Homo-oligomer: A and B are copies of this chain.
């Protein structure tokens, strides 16, 4: 039995210099031998102090991915594998959160506001997959990856959800909520709760936001070309760019912040690859940052293989996320582990996938859902149609419809004692479902957002009784960590709301 632990204590001062970023450049403050028992004292944000004993072994374990095996934050066929696995083997992958610990468990959103987005997402991998005879997965195969188990790293059971500043990342509703904002979540086994969003607690549908194979050079070129075109002409040609205000439209390759695993920075090879390698922000043909909340325990994803060995990478672990991950850094972001098992379906791309585009590479992964998702039986559902906040009619636009559904839900739930930022964060990370309900009844797409009622400690349903009791209308912790928005882009106010 472990001694019972009091997870949350008050902070105090330290006698050695502190740091609040996790980065190779931070100098060590002490040195320990493997196996040596030593003691670390640390502050937390509110005044007390905790004591935890580590051995060097423990720390190696916690950060094996950083210290022993290099990470990468770009997609490129030439990033060399850091490990090899055989089909049928169970193996364990550990990972830092997508920012590599740049966001702290504290009461300030400054780290969110100033996060250097050129360095994300830190991925574990690539992992080369071979069959039982040692023959690698080949382009044209399908790689079946079963997620046998996953979770937070032991001893690191917390995560964060954030709204990014409109000038630095933004999000689905950045025109409504331009300020950097943060909420911290603590885990109690399967449950998460946040001191910043009181009155809710829910079981996590934990999943990796990113799982993908390496692209071939041909596929990489397709990505870079089409995204460059969007970046150049999107604002002129695409109405959605007016309605969804996150910028830039696309994140093109950039050497700034680039991390390429075993390829050493400063070499000519690094320079070339860094200029070509795709950013990890969007999901693409190789899977990648699809942020599909149902890729959880027991699910199995079938990824197309574009390079020898498949070169599987994964990262961006989410304790929980709502469909759409609307606040951008909207899931409960955390470090974590995966236990995976791979199979190779030879020639599976031809057998099972049909490209939907000009080349045979224009395919998408498919997956099966696992059997242990949290069960909810009561849902409150918000509708949205493709008419935007200014009253303009869009044509069958599910993104606009979903934006309206999410805005509707935020306003509704804010009536039960929450600030709108709290609800925006909550709908980003709780297990809510975003549906495309109707996509054919021109001119309106209808999208719906379904929220499980059981996550609240009060009944949020409308009351049909003549005397409507909407609860004590507690202002539930207005002190969400938040920074000011210092830019001058116009914001969208609900045109007819009184508040």
Q: Say whether B189 contacts A441, CB under 8 Å.
A: no
Closest residue to A148 on the B side, CB-wise? B189
Q: Say whether A441 contacts B65, CB under 8 Å.
A: no
Q: Which 4 A-B pairs have the closest CB atoms?
A: A35-B35, A148-B189, A149-B189, A4-B91
A270 to B447, CA, bound (A): 34
Q: Chain B's nearest CB lies how many Å from the CB of A243?
A: 9
Chain B neighbourhood of A440, CB < 8 A:
171-172, 246, 291, 324-328, 330
A213 contacts chain B at the CB level, 8 A cutoff = no
A143 to B481, CA, bound (A): 36
Q: Mark A197-211, 1 if CB is under 8 A from B, else 0.
A: 000000100000000
A89 contacts chain B at the CB level, 8 A cutoff = yes
A101 contacts chain B at the CB level, 8 A cutoff = no
Picked from B283, B353, B434, the residue with its CB within 8 Å of the CB of A436 is B434
Closest residue to A202 on the B side, CB-wise? B371
Q: Chain B's nearest CB lies how many Å from the CB of A365?
A: 6
Q: Say whether A470 contacts B351, CB under 8 Å.
A: yes
A440 to B323, CA, bound (A): 11
Which of A85, A284, A324, A405 has the most chain B CB atoms inside 10 A of its CB?
A: A324
Q: Say whether A497 contacts B445, CB under 8 Å.
A: no
Within 311-339 of A, Cβ neighbours of B (below 8 Å) are at 323-328, 330, 339
Q: Using C-beta atoms within 8 Å of the partner chain, give the interface range for chain A.
A: 35 or more
A489 contacts chain B at the CB level, 8 A cutoff = no
Binds B, one of A21-29, A72-80, A107-115, A380-388: A380-388
Q: Say whether B393 contacts A284, CB under 8 Å.
A: no
Chain B neighbourhood of A142, CB < 8 A:
462
Within 447-471 of A, Cβ neighbours of B (below 8 Å) are at 447-448, 450, 454, 461-464, 466, 468, 470
Picked from B36, B291, B442, the residue with its CB within 8 Å of the CB of A282 is B442
Q: Say whether A352 contacts B462, CB under 8 Å.
A: yes
Chain B neighbourhood of A435, CB < 8 A:
323, 433-436
Within 336-371 of A, Cβ neighbours of B (below 8 Å) are at 339, 341, 343-346, 348, 351-360, 362-371
Q: Say whether B1 contacts A354, CB under 8 Å.
A: no
A257 contacts chain B at the CB level, 8 A cutoff = no
Q: Say whether B283 contacts A438, CB under 8 Å.
A: yes
A341 to B445, CA, bound (A): 28
Picked from B89, B124, B298, the residue with its CB within 8 Å of the CB of A203 is B298
Binds B, one of A11-19, A43-51, A232-240: A232-240
A360 to B90, CA, bound (A): 48
Q: Chain B's nearest CB lies how many Å from the CB of A341?
A: 6
Chain B neighbourhood of A399, CB < 8 A:
396-399, 436, 439, 445
